[in-house]
A and B are shown apart, each in its own frame.
Chain A
Amino acid sequence: MGRARTGALAAAGIVLLALGGAGPWLAPSDPLHSIDSAALRLLPPGTVVPALIRSDGKQLPVAGRDSDRPGTLITEWRAEGDDVVYRRGPRWKSVPLEELQRDEAGRPRVIRLAFPLGTDRLGRDLLSRLLTGARLSLGIGIFGVAGATLLGGLIGLVAGLGGRLSDAVLGRIGDSILSVPRIVLVMALAVLIRPGPWVLALLLAVSGWPSLARLVRADVRSLSGSEMVASARAAGAERWRVAFRHVLPHALTTLVVAAGLRVGPFILLEGSLSFLGFGVPPPHPSWGNILGEGRDVLIDGWWITAVPGLLLGLTVVVVNAAADGLRDLMEPRRRPA
């Protein structure tokens, strides 16, 4: 891989990790609640909205829509006698001028609220939700792969080294799990247990071990027949000792490479699951369930689908590229395609 490419990849990777780790703290607004759900509902990306401020500090955003002109955002407010009339969602509200914070000239103080990526159906800032959701979306995928790798490695080892029976049984079980499309399997499992992030990661692991186990088993079998092992056995070493010292390191390489290649798909899987309603339950955001919510407002709020989807996709591209790089690194005998 070219130097520039590696560099770009590394940078992207670091950004992603940072997102995943520090996301919630980087969020400018509360991802779970909106300042005003009626006023800030479904604002397009880049919207800036004025807000009045009450004497107690509460912000009163001025924004709304009229059913006669559904496409235009009304951000008007005006003084009417002692009151200030402002638009909030589907109606006009009024508040006495004396209850608002004012500047020296006696006019109401106005601040501007910005929503770079827009807001969702409940008026929550999308940017904040994406940043907060990064942790779950990335974390579940990564821990799911870790779990699958652990399980798959162990089972594959047992299958490869054990007798015919255990191999056959484990193989059949693995095959039956593989026969059911992963998403269908995890959907059914997720309905069984109330989904929380760790549970989801566990479910992903349970659905993912067979293919990894198969790889490990194949490696172990072929290595078991190799000369190196044969000579070690001839020298009197026990089976398990042989396994750990000779077979495992080689199998480990395969495992790590395969695991790396699965991180991307697992992140996508969590996304699909949450989208379909079987993953992280709202209101806690994950990229997948934000997309799920976005589906219902696709026409009025296309950015809720466009941005998270793009983000998810790009993340997977970066992760896959990194995994490819890892593979090239660890298995240099493969000709780069």
Chain B
Amino acid sequence: MKALIGLQAAALGLVIAATGCGRGTQEAAAPDAAPQRGGTLVVGLESEPDSFNIYLARTSASLTVAHRVLPRLAVETMPDERHEAGFTPLLAESWERSEDDRTLTFHLADGGRWSDGSQITCDDVAFTLRAQTDPALGWRAASIKRHIEALDCPDPLTAVFRFAKSYPEMLMDANDLHIVPASLASIPFETWREVEWAKTMPFSGPFKIEEHKPGQEIVLARHERFFARPELPWLDRVVLRVVPDQTARVTQLLSGDLDVVLRLAPDDAARVASSRNARVVRRPGAAYAYIGWNTVAPAAYGELQLELAARCERAGKDACPEDLEEVAGLSTSSPHPLFGDARVRKAMTLAIDRETIVDALLLGEGVVPASPMLAPLPEHDPELVPWPHDPQRARALLAEAGFGDSDGDGTLDRNGEPFSFELMVQAGNKLRRDSAVLVQQDLAAVGVSVEIVAVENSSFYPALARRDKDAWIGGWATSLRVDMTEMLHRDSCGSGGMNFGGFTDPRADELASAARELLDDGERIAAWREWERHFHDLQPYTVLFQENRLTGVSRRVRGVESILRNDDLAGVETWWIAAPGS
């Protein structure tokens, strides 16, 4: 099936990308006048970008800079109440799929230019793909590209991605690149870490890196040769200022030293909203926090691995492929004594007062989602409502599962074993630790004893991967890609997968596997919605909350849109500063 997505010229496309579909809503009080050119926008960052080379970087601050200075083929937009999900052209004017759905051809705009004046061509795109997948460089997201077999350049302005198979997220995976110029090929990948990228990285965004004061600030200045829309950006400069202390950032916003503070805490949001100099731009978050339940007995996974290794040795081989069947079968062959039972998991969800967590920790700036499919993704069924807080029902379910308080000590037990478990949480994440404390309290009220185990951030995922914990609090960020097989499916039960709870269910797995391949939107959405209903009944995770993304913006800044994207400063090239008095 051919899905021809041809759109207008890049310029118009950029308008759409920058300001959303048509005239979106503004949260400014004053009506908008015409944009004024000039001015410096000062943004407060929690930490500085760890590298100006996006393929070496790990922090979101680096991504924020990269989005401003490097071109992309198209811009990904998450849906919200006003906009649909989609891709808006940037460097690529249009793209199309081949008949067999295994090739994606992009047509590049003619006007793309690097800072040194040279044209942006397919060679640059090809080089970028090489950099992304080169093992010496070790880009952490390289596995996204695993289905791309090759990239051909039949002419300088045409890029052809050839895939090993067709699947719904082809466009997303192909597009996920910040293009870097092929001229960088003269620097071997092994030495990329030694280079001072602030000075070396060519750019072609609406902005360029003018200055970098390590530990203090990065100054982005208008790039006069921005190809897509030469009159943008309105701002002369964007200064990214490193202010690690949250309170200091807010104070500086309130006093006018900073114009933008990203990711406000709810406390601060209240203060900013009622202040004279600044206001709050609110958008639903694209991430959620959850409690993951281990459906497999804690020691079982480790033991199985040892047994498999022994078996392999006996067979005289050095390495054997992992037996997915056995691993995926653990939740049936060695279920977790507590959480192997869906009734118990559902009871946990009913016992936890999630609304209070949102009120107490987020001051109401968040929602309790029904499932990992966040609204407003179309795959989420808006009719589905999260389980309420109902300790009565929770106790009933637990009683059904065989728990009672036989010794009257306040803690439930069954066959002499008390209902007590360890909840693992990241030591560095204050919000999640606080959530853990509240969860502990709620569960104690129904007779369940929880011990909170805080693990250092860097050891957290290795600890999870060992699968020997009872439960953990984690988080996921969503994107346009909806693929629950990555975390709640038998395929991801293996050692490289992220199904740390070992959850599988025949019907749910079947639905997810099918949905993964369906190219027709209608069918795919229907499949995922059915999967969602299974999730709702089986509760492999208890989804805790979805935070609102709060940005503090000075009242003198105009043109700020609240589009749901993972890029904090999306559209900053269309923001402008009103002269005082206007």
Q: Which residues of A line the B interface, CB within 8 A? A: 32-34, 36-38, 41, 65, 67-70, 88-91, 121-123, 191, 281-283, 295-300
- Asked if B454 and A281 sit within 8 Å, CB to CB, the answer is yes
User: Across the two chains, which residue of chain B brings its CB closest to A67?
Assistant: B270
- Asked if B437 and A123 sit within 8 Å, CB to CB, the answer is no
By DSSP majority rule, is chain A's interface helix, strand, loop, or mixed? loop
CB contacts (< 8 Å) of A91 on chain B: these are 359, 364
User: Digit string of B422-466 for contact with A (CB within 8 Å is 1, else 0)?
Assistant: 000001001001100110110010000000101010000000000
The 6 closest A-B pairs by CB, nearest first: A90-B364, A37-B360, A38-B359, A38-B360, A89-B359, A67-B270
CB contacts (< 8 Å) of A122 on chain B: these are 360, 434, 437-438
- Name 6 extra pairs, CB < 8 A, besides A38-B356, A283-B452: A33-B437, A33-B444, A70-B270, A70-B271, A89-B359, A299-B247
User: Across the two chains, which residue of chain A brings its CB closest to B361?
Assistant: A37
CB contacts (< 8 Å) of B273 on chain A: these are 67-68
- Asked if A283 and B363 sit within 8 Å, CB to CB, the answer is no
CB contacts (< 8 Å) of B360 on chain A: these are 36-38, 41, 89, 122-123
CB contacts (< 8 Å) of A88 on chain B: these are 359
Looking at chain B, what size class is its interface with the partner chain? Answer: 20 to 34
Task: Say yes or no for B420: interface residue by CB 8 A criterion.
Answer: no
CB contacts (< 8 Å) of A36 on chain B: these are 356, 360
CB contacts (< 8 Å) of B444 on chain A: these are 33
CB contacts (< 8 Å) of A282 on chain B: these are 433, 454
User: Digit string of B244-269 for contact with A (CB within 8 Å is 1, else 0)?
Assistant: 00110011000000000000010101
- Asked if A298 and B247 sit within 8 Å, CB to CB, the answer is yes
13 contacts between A and B (CB under 8 A): A37-B361, A67-B269, A68-B273, A70-B270, A89-B359, A89-B360, A89-B364, A123-B360, A281-B454, A282-B433, A296-B247, A298-B247, A300-B271
Task: Say yes or no for B274: interface residue by CB 8 A criterion.
Answer: yes
User: Across the two chains, which residue of chain B brings its CB closest to A42?
Assistant: B267
CB contacts (< 8 Å) of A67 on chain B: these are 269-270, 273-274, 363
CB contacts (< 8 Å) of A65 on chain B: these are 270
Interface residues of B in 210-259 (CB under 8 A from A): 246-247, 250-251
CB distance from B88 to the nearest CB of A (A): 34
User: Across the two chains, which residue of chain A brings its CB closest to B265?
Assistant: A296
Contact of B441 among A33, A298, A299 (CB under 8 A): A33
- Asked if A37 and B356 sit within 8 Å, CB to CB, the answer is yes
CB contacts (< 8 Å) of A69 on chain B: these are 274
CB contacts (< 8 Å) of B452 on chain A: these are 283
CB contacts (< 8 Å) of B454 on chain A: these are 281-282
Known: A70-B270, A296-B247. A281 touches B359 (CB 8 A): no
- Asked if A299 and B364 sit within 8 Å, CB to CB, the answer is no
Contact of B437 among A32, A281, A295 (CB under 8 A): A32
Count chain A CB atoms within 10 A of each CB in B247, B271, B359 and give the residue with the most: B359
- Asked if A70 and B251 sit within 8 Å, CB to CB, the answer is no
CB distance from A274 to the nearest CB of B (A): 13
Count chain B CB atoms within 10 A of each CB in A65, A67, A122, A295 and give the residue with the most: A67
Interface residues of B in 30-66 (CB under 8 A from A): none
CB contacts (< 8 Å) of B246 on chain A: these are 296
CB contacts (< 8 Å) of A300 on chain B: these are 267, 271
CB contacts (< 8 Å) of A89 on chain B: these are 359-360, 363-364
Measured in the bound complex, the distance between the Cα atoms of B452 and A90 in whole Å is 27
User: Across the two chains, which residue of chain A brings its CB closest to B452?
Assistant: A283
- Asked if A90 and B359 sit within 8 Å, CB to CB, the answer is yes
CB contacts (< 8 Å) of B250 on chain A: these are 299
Count chain B CB atoms within 10 A of each CB in A33, A38, A65, A123 and give the residue with the most: A38
CB distance from B239 to the nearest CB of A (A): 24
- Asked if B363 and A90 sit within 8 Å, CB to CB, the answer is yes
Measured in the bound complex, the distance between the Cα atoms of B359 and A32 in whole Å is 19
Measured in the bound complex, the distance between the Cα atoms of B254 and A18 in whole Å is 45
Interface residues of B in 343-382 (CB under 8 A from A): 356, 359-361, 363-364
- Asked if A70 and B359 sit within 8 Å, CB to CB, the answer is no
Interface residues of B in 475-502 (CB under 8 A from A): none
- Asked if A297 and B274 sit within 8 Å, CB to CB, the answer is no
Measured in the bound complex, the distance between the Cα atoms of B266 and A65 in whole Å is 12
Measured in the bound complex, the distance between the Cα atoms of B356 and A180 in whole Å is 46
CB distance from A158 to the nearest CB of B (A): 37
CB distance from A41 to the nearest CB of B (A): 6
CB contacts (< 8 Å) of A68 on chain B: these are 273-274
Measured in the bound complex, the distance between the Cα atoms of B365 and A90 in whole Å is 9
CB distance from A279 to the nearest CB of B (A): 12
Measured in the bound complex, the distance between the Cα atoms of B274 and A69 in whole Å is 8
CB distance from A85 to the nearest CB of B (A): 16
CB contacts (< 8 Å) of A41 on chain B: these are 360
Measured in the bound complex, the distance between the Cα atoms of B271 and A297 in whole Å is 12
CB contacts (< 8 Å) of A295 on chain B: these are 247
- Asked if A283 and B437 sit within 8 Å, CB to CB, the answer is yes
CB contacts (< 8 Å) of A297 on chain B: these are 267
Count chain B CB atoms within 10 A of each CB in A37, A91, A281 and give the residue with the most: A37
User: Across the two chains, which residue of chain A brings its CB closest to B459?
Assistant: A194
CB contacts (< 8 Å) of A298 on chain B: these are 247
User: Across the two chains, which residue of chain A brings its CB closest to B437?
Assistant: A283
CB distance from A267 to the nearest CB of B (A): 24
Measured in the bound complex, the distance between the Cα atoms of B271 and A256 in whole Å is 53
User: Across the two chains, which residue of chain B brings its CB closest to A300?
Assistant: B267
CB distance from A49 to the nearest CB of B (A): 15
CB contacts (< 8 Å) of B433 on chain A: these are 282-283
User: Across the two chains, which residue of chain A brings its CB closest to B251?
Assistant: A299
Measured in the bound complex, the distance between the Cα atoms of B427 and A32 in whole Å is 17
Measured in the bound complex, the distance between the Cα atoms of B361 and A296 in whole Å is 13
CB contacts (< 8 Å) of B440 on chain A: these are 33
Measured in the bound complex, the distance between the Cα atoms of B251 and A260 in whole Å is 42
CB contacts (< 8 Å) of B456 on chain A: these are 191
